[in-house]
Amino acid sequence: MGEEKEKKKRVLIVEDAAYMREMLQEMLHQEERSYEVVGFAVNGKEAVEKYKELKPDIVTMDLVMEEMDGIQAIREIKRYDPNALIIAITALGMSEYKDAALAAGADEYLWKPFTINNLFEAFERLLRKRGRGSEGNE
């Protein structure tokens, strides 16, 4: 792929369910040349802290979590770094949640359950969007 030369994208996985964290890591491992999991967070608060600490390229954000929910975390992260790339991943069905997540600043939205292909398609959409965005900026 064309992105081979590029630096690996550093991914922060925010998920409260351990099996989901593991699966996402496994999936990303399949494309280890492009993506690298740099850390995990189990709730929104930890996510914001980890983001500040690790400065990842992409954040996968669950919406339903203890302490601080995903939407709040998206808002916090975007406030800290407006250029952060965040993909909201949730099993919540209602489009209101999607709208809320996008309004908070999420760049992509992925419904559970998803296949590995769904995930990478979403990632690519995300990066393409950013690519266009940064081209415009530079």
Cβ contacts of 116 within 8 Å, gap of 6 or more: 27, 30
x-or-dash string of contact with another protein, 46-85, rule CB under 8 A: ------------------x---------------------
- Other beta carbons less than 10 A from residue 52's beta carbon: 12
Instruction: Tell me how far apart the alpha carbons of residues 123 and 128 are, in angstroms, rounded to a whole number.
Output: 9
102 binds another protein (CB under 8 A): no
1 binds another protein (CB under 8 A): no
Query: Which parts of 105-124 interact with another protein (CB under 8 A)?
Result: 112-119
Cβ contacts of 20 within 8 Å, gap of 6 or more: 62
Cβ distance to another protein smaller for residue 33 or 129:
33
Name the residues that contact another protein, by CB under 8 A.
Answer: 17, 19-20, 23, 26-27, 30, 64, 90-94, 112-119
